[in-house]
Amino acid sequence: MEEPSASGENEDVKQNENVSTGKQTGAAAAGEDASSEVSKAEPDGKAAEEATVRFNRLKLFDKVIQKSMSKFIEHASFKVFASMFRPLYKNDVERMEEIHHQFTEMLKKSIQEDIVKLMEEGRLESKFNELDKLEDEVKDSPEPAWRPSGDPEQDFCSVLMPYYQKQRAYMKLELKRIQAENAALAEKVQAGRERIAQTEQHISTAVDEWKTTVTEFERSASSLCTANLFDE
């Protein structure tokens, strides 16, 4: 009596799993049908689509993430979920389906939030757009793209040398600018020193003139005092 009940129980799990899986993967199946229809298009249309995808890495990244998340969610099927909580499944199958549905939705939401955080922290959107822009700029360039030569030291130098050369040219310009500023400041300092020397000379001359005037005044005063004495 126990064996038939177990087999019947497994059949119920499989049936409920098929129903639940059918509900959850309906949208995914529709998306796969749409993608299969697109793959049956003409070669020219496919090439144009590939070119569009190639120049839009953000959409391609989102598509890969969504597909990977769908594959991951498929592993958390209703059968596996029910086998982990068999007593609850025996008591109420519908309630078990609701719990499984809530679990998968919360899992999808949590994964999507983590992906959004990673994209924000790594600034993936701006970097993908920058890569698309760079590729779009050089797609019509006649020059061949850079490829490693097999010598890490040579490749390293070939990448860094242009940067260092630019830095050297920039430093030379800055040096010339600073030297010109220093020369201008030196001229201003020299001019200030000359003005100070001239001012000191004017002050010295004025002091000498004042001393001469005082001496003459003292002589005049002494001579006047002497004449007054004789008159008395």
- Do residues 13 and 80 make contact, with C-beta atoms less than 8 angstroms apart? no
Residue 188 has pLDDT above 90, yes or no: yes
Lowest mean pLDDT among 20-29, 79-88, 164-173, 217-226: 20-29
Compute the average pLDDT of residues 166-193: 94
Compute the average pLDDT of residues 39-64: 60
212 or 232, higher pLDDT: 212
Identify the CA nearest to 25 among candidates 77, 61, 62, 63: 77
Lowest mean pLDDT among 3-7, 90-94, 110-114, 127-131: 3-7
| Contact partners, residue 222, CB within 8 Å, separation at least 6 | none
Record the pTM: 0.37
Secondary structure class of 150 (helix, strand, coil): coil
Compute the average pLDDT of residues 176-192: 94
- Phi-psi map region of 98: left, alpha, beta (phi>0 left; psi -120 to 50 alpha): alpha
Between the CA of residue 28 and those of 22, 35, 57, what are the distances in Å?
10, 10, 22
Lowest mean pLDDT among 51-55, 61-65, 104-108, 124-128: 51-55
Compute the average pLDDT of residues 51-70: 76
